[in-house]
Structure 1
Amino acid sequence: MKVLKIITAIIFGLFLLFGAYNHVANPEFYAPMIPDFIPESVANILATITELIVGVLLIIPKYQKWGGLGFAILMLAFLPIHIWDLTKELPAVGSKTAATIRLVIQFIVIAIGWWIYKKSK
């Protein structure tokens, strides 16, 4: 189980590092997902910094516990955006079905972050 936790943490850490990079390299990709009342540049900067820090924490075994907790909290913070997107006539992900699947996946990744946190020393 320990190896599974380490591999899972590293995979999600790399996923977050890619996301952090993509917020800088391709910020327009995220524009449809950012609510109108949040400035896009601020959202992208905050997401980049947060995803970078949490991604690094998940990759370094000594800090995976805190990375798992940070990941769970970050995914919880993104949850309202997924719910908001589902309520739109045309969700950013393209369809109501895709938005529903994305919302379900969001709960799963929250649980994975919590699992990493609880299984780490």
Structure 2
Amino acid sequence: MNIFRKIIAIIFGLFLLFGAYNHIANPEFYAPMIPDFVPENVANILAAITELVVGVLLIIPKYQKWGGLGFAILMLIFLPIHIWDLTKEAPAVGSKTAATIRLVIQFIVIALGWWIYKGSKK
């Protein structure tokens, strides 16, 4: 794996570790993004565990390939939330413009996760 790919993997890993911590320390931040039919506590706990595991995989060089795949899948799972948020009259975080930018970024990070996966050895 080239150095740029490793750096991106570590940055995403750290981002996910922060997110995992924040889901537990500051769950009310995520409340507006969680659909009404999903229990907030369950969503935050599952997201924290998943982000913790994938974040650790992305940071450990031996497991970065699987971390990249896990990251791409996780971002695909979060994609409907961004689409749903964009369709709301008042998006959960920011304006319609911010929601649109977040959706575009979501596609980019999905592609980068796949890039980490495909460019990693075993």
- Aligned residue-pair number: 121
Q: Which structure 1 residue ranges, 5 or more long, are not aligned?
A: none
1:18-71 per-position Cα deviation (integer Å, ceiling 9, x unaligned): 000000000000000000010000100000000000000000000000000000
| Offset of residue 93 of structure 1 | 1.2
Structural mapping, 1:1-121, within 5 Å: 2-121=2-121
Moved >2 Å (runs of 4+): none
1:70-121 per-position Cα deviation (integer Å, ceiling 9, x unaligned): 0000000000000000000000112100000000000000000000000000
Query: What is the rounded CA distance, in whole Å, between the counterparts of 1:52 and 1:70 in structure 2?
Result: 11
SS at match of 1:90: coil
SS at match of 2:104: helix
Query: What is the rounded CA distance, in whole Å, between the counterparts of 1:38 and 1:103 in structure 2?
Result: 21
Query: What is the rounded CA distance, in whole Å, between the counterparts of 1:93 and 1:103 in structure 2?
Result: 12
Query: What is the rounded CA distance, in whole Å, between the counterparts of 1:87 and 1:20 in structure 2?
Result: 26
